[in-house]
């Protein structure tokens, strides 16, 4: 079975105030990808989250996704798609039952169903089961499991306590009753998990997975090998270790199609892999390898899997140049490349209106856009403490906090503990997007988890 693995499309994304949708980049990529699948003839396309850049996407972003999915449906190519942390799972999975009839399968919300959406396709070797796990965090998993397990957990606890009570009691028996009650009361033990890894491991253990068959997981999480982020992910790098899941949690799956990190690389073993974003959405991402879809070919169970990346060149390549003003001016006067997105970093002087006008003009003459110009000569470039509305909209909560912290503490970065608490707060914001009116139980769960991080 030939699989194409994509992730982090971020339809509707803007970079330094330039809309990648309105400026044609994302529409161009969709057209090139549809041409690509005509050549490759895949059996299925996987999209591992962050389909949109915002949980409430623009009408233009929705139209582009519709064009993308319609193009694949017309070519009779099934699509498996999960919601990422930028997506609203409710909005993305709207009409999921109707879309499934057209071969477009979307992860459902864990708040409405504990069992992860899964779809079985067949080839000459038998079944391949695709498990579609949306972006999850401890509070969300606890909520989903608590709904289904509360009654059965309470019944099991009462049976065990009665069994001990019917015997001659000792002090140890009294302690056992209390201990068992505390440990097995589902309403309390599932209030929160210690971390995301524990939550995901528990969630997967609850699924009816037959590992004698070939199983593919599509997920959007922070996955590491022994706690180490292999390659920085640009605009979606990991946040101080928060939310990490060790790749061994996915042992047993024949392939794990990951999204969230914008770089493409394997984690722990080659079959657990990030596809990366299809386009550069941050100038840090220009340091990564050229971007493109991952082709995965699975044969019979236990046989080696073939994995290959094919490059789709962007409409506007991104380029960052850095050096002294004199050197950069000379380089750009002799530069022949056109149609680029450019960032200029000057190391020996402040940015004056004349310098900015020079680089902007020379880029425009080549049909390029100067997205950003900054100076490393002084830390006071720009007005301290002020972010434009565009900059705020483009950054995640975690990125804004890191900027704020660095500004307040002379460039220092927050430590892992601070970032872990921040990640918890950000996840609670996402949780609030699902539960607009949190219950006392939700608030109690949050406070307990917050205390565990302090």
The Cα–Cα gap between 123 and 1 comes to: 6
Hey, what are 231's tokens?
A: 């390659």
pTM attached to this predicted model: 0.77
Using the CB atoms, write b or e for 140-152: b if 16+ within 10 Å.
Answer: bbbbbbbbebeee
pLDDT of residue 441: 60
φ/ψ (deg, to 5) at 404: -60, -45
Q: Nearest CA to 265 among 253, 254, 252, 277? A: 277
Domain range annotation of the chain = 2-139+192-309, 318-375, 397-452
Which pairing describes strands 18-19 and 14-15: parallel, antiparallel, or unpaired? antiparallel
Residue 370 is inside which H or E element, if any? strand 369-375
Q: Nearest CA to 6 among 290, 288, 294? A: 294
Cα distance from N-terminal residue to C-terminal residue, the chain: 48
DSSP 167: S
pLDDT of residue 147: 59
The Cα–Cα gap between 43 and 60 comes to: 28
Q: What is the pLDDT along the chain (454 residues), one digit of tens a residue?
A: 999 999 999 999 999 999 999 999 999 999 999 999 999 999 999 999 999 999 999 999 999 999 999 999 999 999 999 999 999 988 998 888 899 999 999 998 886 678 899 999 999 999 999 999 999 999 889 888 875 554 444 444 444 435 444 544 444 444 444 443 444 443 444 457 889 999 999 999 999 999 999 999 999 999 999 877 666 555 565 544 568 999 999 999 999 999 999 999 999 999 999 999 999 999 999 988 889 999 999 999 999 999 999 999 999 999 999 999 999 999 999 999 999 999 999 999 999 999 999 999 999 999 999 999 999 986 444 444 444 445 555 566 666 666 666 666 656 667 766 766 666 666 666 555 554 555 556 656 655 665 665 6
The Cα–Cα gap between 397 and 79 comes to: 30
φ/ψ (deg, to 5) at 309: -105, 130
User: Between vectors from CA 453 to CA 447 and to CA 454, what angle results, nearest 5°?
Assistant: 90
Is the Cβ–Cβ distance between 196 and 424 less than 8 Å?
no
pLDDT of residue 154: 46
φ/ψ (deg, to 5) at 367: 70, 20
Beta bridge partners of 104: 79
Strands of 44-48's sheet, edge to edge?
A: 104-106, 79-82, 44-48, 2-6, 294-297, 306-309
pLDDT of residue 430: 57
pLDDT of residue 226: 84
What separation in angstroms does the CA of 130 have from each of 229, 252, 310? 26, 13, 23
- CATH top-level class for 2-139+192-309? alpha beta
């Amino acid at each position: 079975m030939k699989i194409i693995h994509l992730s982090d499309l971020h339809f509707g994304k803007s970079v330094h105030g330039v809309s990648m949708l309105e400026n044609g980049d994302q529409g161009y990529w969709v057209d090139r990808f549809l041409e690509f699948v005509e050549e490759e003839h895949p059996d299925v396309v996987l999209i591992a989250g962050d389909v949109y850049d915002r949980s409430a996407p623009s009408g233009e972003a929705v139209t582009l996704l519709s064009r993308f999915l319609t193009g694949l449906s017309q070519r009779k190519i099934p699509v498996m798609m999960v919601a990422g942390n930028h997506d609203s799972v409710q909005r993305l999975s709207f009409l999921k039952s109707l879309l499934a009839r057209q071969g477009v399968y979307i992860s459902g919300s864990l708040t409405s169903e504990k069992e992860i959406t899964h779809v079985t396709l067949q080839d000459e070797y038998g079944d391949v089961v695709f498990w579609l796990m949306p972006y999850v965090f401890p509070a969300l998993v606890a909520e989903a499991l608590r709904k289904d397990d509360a009654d059965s957990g309470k019944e099991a606890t009462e049976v065990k306590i009665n069994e001990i009570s019917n015997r001659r009691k000792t002090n140890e028996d009294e302690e056992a009753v209390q201990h068992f009650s505390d440990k097995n009361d589902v309403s309390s033990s599932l209030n929160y998990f210690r971390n995301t890894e524990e939550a995901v491991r528990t969630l997967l253990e609850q699924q009816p997975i037959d590992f004698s068959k070939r199983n593919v997981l599509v997920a959007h999480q922070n996955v590491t090998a022994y706690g180490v982020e292999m390659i920085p992910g640009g605009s979606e790098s990991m946040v101080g270790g928060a939310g990490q899941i060790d790749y061994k949690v996915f042992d047993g799956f024949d392939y794990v199609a990951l999204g969230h990190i914008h770089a493409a690389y394997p984690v722990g073993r080659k079959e657990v892999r990030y596809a990366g974003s299809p386009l550069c959405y941050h100038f840090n991402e220009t340091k990564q390898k050229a971007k493109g879809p991952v082709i995965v070919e699975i044969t019979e169970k236990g046989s080696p899997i073939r994995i290959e990346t094919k490059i789709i060149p962007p409409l506007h390549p991104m380029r960052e140049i850095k050096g002294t003003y004199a050197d950069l001016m000379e380089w750009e006067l002799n530069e022949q490349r056109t149609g680029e997105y450019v960032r200029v970093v000057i190391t020996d002087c402040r940015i004056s209106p004349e310098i900015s006008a020079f680089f902007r003009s020379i880029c425009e003459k080549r049909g390029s856009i100067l997205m950003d110009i900054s100076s490393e000569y002084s830390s006071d470039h720009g007005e301290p403490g002020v972010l434009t509305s565009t900059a705020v909209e483009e950054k995640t909560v975690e990125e804004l906090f890191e900027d704020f912290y660095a500004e307040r503490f002379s460039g220092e970065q927050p430590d892992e503990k601070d970032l872990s608490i921040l990640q918890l707060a950000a996840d609670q914001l996402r949780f609030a997007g699902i539960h607009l009116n949190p219950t006392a139980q939700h608030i109690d769960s949050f406070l307990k988890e917050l205390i565990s991080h302090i």
